[in-house]
Chains A and B, each alone.
Chain A
């Protein structure tokens, strides 16, 4: 029996504390060369796709722009379009918000990317909850959670109507007969819904993939349902084995309701990794990376997000202070809001007491995500095991450095996955849908 194949993607380490900017090897997060480096490494490693997040407002803490982390990024689809010129097979995925965009414009931008990359475009559909981000947009304001997903679902349905509105063979371009567009080749879109009323004609022919690959990142009940109905890939935080298996089973189970098969939705947790020649060295590397990611000031900043108050007077290397969280408003803006800060504060306090952790040690402990730590052999084995055990269909790797952050993985781990017979030796198709076996 053939083993389940692993899917791999690379996340450009964006704007947050996962990127270790203080490392001397850390380069620019904005120069195009940094994007080219990581994308080409991912393509050398035969990855499915390259993934870019978006930001629409700079984060704030205590009413001021957060200044400790890497900040400043390009517009995702514009960079991906430029990357289409320097890569051949790699999928190009961008996060673009459905709350602060209009379907007609975004559908044509995504279709353009699919044409220009010859079928490698993917859209990570996200929604935004806060009026804080809305302050940068015409639309302004915000929608409550349920409405955000309703709008996103209608957005996606409308985008598909637009993408499908030209017959696949609409372009004849026959100079002899003088027929550029076949009669009836361009359909009219008439959409009237709760959030959008759009009538007219689209401006692009059917793209190589017909429609870009749809990615969804979001873990709520609404998010899972949205993914089951619409997405081709889910980007999840559930990288740990049992947690991943529960999520995997839950989401795949929801597919039947929408007439879909389990293989039509790929579950890909975002994970980090730390390699070493020995297990000890890998563990040391991992600990070193985490200490760099959570410096003393960053540790305090995390605490302030949960406690909702100024904690700058406390020693990050000392114990958690005995003050109660201020639950009135919160001090952080531009991040995913924490649902129940009181519960989280209680959990953090209990953990710090139980394990005797300092503030910084606590933050390192609680903000880590699944990390594959070990020798190349061990990491290849772990990845394979997670996939065979239905905890995931693959992983989106988040390196902590750019450039160079993916080199070791591509050179050392990928060949071992290939040896195990669970990862492609070369691309067998040309489109991202081909790579993801979604066709």
Chain B
């Protein structure tokens, strides 16, 4: 069994000082097209693109005034769409938040990404817990994240009632998207000249969703996407987001820091869902001088890099050892966060994939044309289709 490999793309990489070594044009389409082309040459399953409804910050909530780190990001769904025509096989998984956005718009945006990419779309569904981001919309008041962190037993955001509500809302948003994607049966368009009907209206369905946070009538305006259901993914660190991912996602990214932790997390997630694919996130610096590179960047940033995911420094061979060990703990794939772009991405796409192939653990060619196909997920039938 081969493992699945994705990379998480963001700005100049996951080290906040990474831009100082490559000076990338992070606000040009060409920069991103080169990155995704490299990932596709490495036959990776997919790339994810980070996003948020506010600028980056070193603070838990609100803006810092740092001038030495990358600030600013594209809308990830539109960036993914821009990257679809120049690629042919790699999956494109933008982040879109479920908080503040309209589920109808997000659902048709992801469906459209699936149409323009010929079935390679995914969605990383994410909540926006921050009060600073809520103020960009002015419709809801959120408690500052700092305040939640300071409550007794704080630290784990996901146990907070406010954050629990955000996950409940996210679950509704994913449910709405999935219903909208199913709301046109595959063969709804009939173009029947004899009767003058373009569509068979009996194959279009109102989704009639009514929940705590919003209601959506449907059907979608966008015909069913090529994959039927684009691949839904979510990052999760604790019980409520595990539940959200197990209930709504096809792939969950988890953040173990050891093989033992990986085993425990897999056990917990498997208790919630037998189907969801479990990927582990790792932030990686690769190469003979990986540790030195990271130390140099830490020094430039004035602080040691911190991350929710484990941070790996070492060679591609050493990383392959870790991935295969974690795979034995039940992890099915990895979403690697390159410390610096394009350097660490190149190491992943060339060195690591070669290493894994040498051990019989990675593909030699793309075996499917859709992202679902690459992940071994079947194409689902519309839930509204009559079983004949």
Residues of A within 8 A of B (CB): 15, 21-22, 30-32, 36, 55-58, 64-65, 67-75, 77-79, 81-82, 84-86, 100-102, 104-105, 108-109, 112-113, 115-116, 118, 135-140, 166, 171, 173, 175, 178-183, 185-186, 196-205, 295-298
| In the complex with contacts A84-B29, A85-B84, A201-B55 CB distance below 8 A | yes
| Stretch in B112-120, B143-151, B230-238, B350-358 touching the partner | B112-120
Closest to A28 in B: B189
Decide yes or no whether B326 CB sits under 8 A from chain A. no
Are A137 and B29 in contact (CB-based, < 8 A)?
Answer: no
Complex Cα–Cα for A199 and B109 (A): 26
Complex Cα–Cα for A67 and B189 (A): 10
Are A72 and B19 in contact (CB-based, < 8 A)?
Answer: no
Complex Cα–Cα for A105 and B23 (A): 28
Complex Cα–Cα for A140 and B215 (A): 8
Provide the main secondary structure of the chain B interface: loop
B217 to chain A, nearest CB (A): 4
Within 8 A of A (CB), among B95-113: 100-105, 108-109, 111-113
Decide yes or no whether B168 CB sits under 8 A from chain A. no
Decide yes or no whether B85 CB sits under 8 A from chain A. yes
Provide the main secondary structure of the chain A interface: loop
Complex Cα–Cα for A304 and B21 (A): 67
Q: Which residues of A contact B264 (CB under 8 A)?
A: none
Q: Which residues of A contact B133 (CB under 8 A)?
A: 200
Are B193 and A104 in contact (CB-based, < 8 A)?
Answer: no
Q: Which residues of A contact B71 (CB under 8 A)?
A: 180-181, 186
Q: What would 22 A/B residue contacts be, using CB atoms closer than 8 Å?
A: A21-B191, A22-B191, A30-B115, A30-B222, A68-B196, A69-B198, A71-B198, A73-B221, A73-B222, A77-B78, A78-B81, A82-B85, A101-B105, A102-B100, A105-B100, A115-B74, A137-B216, A138-B213, A140-B215, A183-B65, A203-B53, A295-B196
Are B19 and A173 in contact (CB-based, < 8 A)?
Answer: yes
Are B196 and A78 in contact (CB-based, < 8 A)?
Answer: no
Residues of B within 8 A of A (CB): 17, 19-21, 23, 27-29, 33, 52-55, 63, 65, 67-75, 77-79, 81-86, 100-105, 108-109, 111-113, 115-116, 118, 132-133, 135-139, 184, 188-189, 191, 193, 196-201, 204, 213-219, 221-223, 300
Q: Which residues of B contact A116 (CB under 8 A)?
A: 29, 74, 78-79, 82
Are B111 and A75 in contact (CB-based, < 8 A)?
Answer: yes
- The one of B72, B109, B199 that contacts A71, using a Cβ cutoff of 8 Å: B199
Q: Which residues of B contact A74 (CB under 8 A)?
A: 108, 111-112, 115-116, 222
| In the complex with contacts A67-B200, A82-B85, A181-B67 CB distance below 8 A | yes
Are B67 and A182 in contact (CB-based, < 8 A)?
Answer: yes
A432 to chain B, nearest CB (A): 16
Q: Which residues of B contact A57 (CB under 8 A)?
A: 217, 221
Are B196 and A198 in contact (CB-based, < 8 A)?
Answer: no
B10 to chain A, nearest CB (A): 13
A295 to chain B, nearest CB (A): 5
Q: Which residues of B contact A118 (CB under 8 A)?
A: 29
A181 to chain B, nearest CB (A): 5
Q: Which residues of B contact A77 (CB under 8 A)?
A: 78, 109
- Given contacts A58-B204, A102-B100, A135-B217, list 5 more A-B pairs with CB under 8 A: A67-B198, A70-B198, A77-B78, A81-B78, A139-B102
Are A175 and B19 in contact (CB-based, < 8 A)?
Answer: yes
Q: Which residues of A contact B70 (CB under 8 A)?
A: 180
- The one of B23, B65, B113 that contacts A173, using a Cβ cutoff of 8 Å: B23
Q: Which residues of B contact A173 (CB under 8 A)?
A: 19, 23
A169 to chain B, nearest CB (A): 13
Are A81 and B82 in contact (CB-based, < 8 A)?
Answer: yes
Are A72 and B199 in contact (CB-based, < 8 A)?
Answer: yes
- The one of B23, B81, B139, B223 that contacts A72, using a Cβ cutoff of 8 Å: B223
- The one of A22, A56, A200 that contacts B132, using a Cβ cutoff of 8 Å: A200
Closest to B16 in A: A180
Q: Which residues of A contact B201 (CB under 8 A)?
A: 64-65, 67
Complex Cα–Cα for A52 and B366 (A): 34
Q: Which residues of A contact B33 (CB under 8 A)?
A: 85
B113 to chain A, nearest CB (A): 6
Q: Which residues of A contact B109 (CB under 8 A)?
A: 75, 77-78
Q: Which residues of A contact B215 (CB under 8 A)?
A: 135, 140
| In the complex with contacts A30-B223, A73-B221, A116-B29, A68-B81 CB distance below 8 A | no
Are A112 and B221 in contact (CB-based, < 8 A)?
Answer: no
What 8 pairs between A and B have smallest CB-CB spacing? Answer: A197-B138, A135-B217, A74-B112, A78-B112, A85-B85, A72-B223, A81-B81, A138-B214
| In the complex with contacts A116-B29, A180-B69, A79-B116 CB distance below 8 A | yes
Are A31 and B105 in contact (CB-based, < 8 A)?
Answer: no
| In the complex with contacts A57-B221, A67-B198, A175-B21, A198-B136 CB distance below 8 A | yes
- The one of A32, A109, A166 that contacts B75, using a Cβ cutoff of 8 Å: A109
Complex Cα–Cα for A78 and B27 (A): 18
Closest to B222 in A: A74
Closest to A206 in B: B27
B112, B137, B218, B222 — most chain A CB neighbours (10 Å)? B112
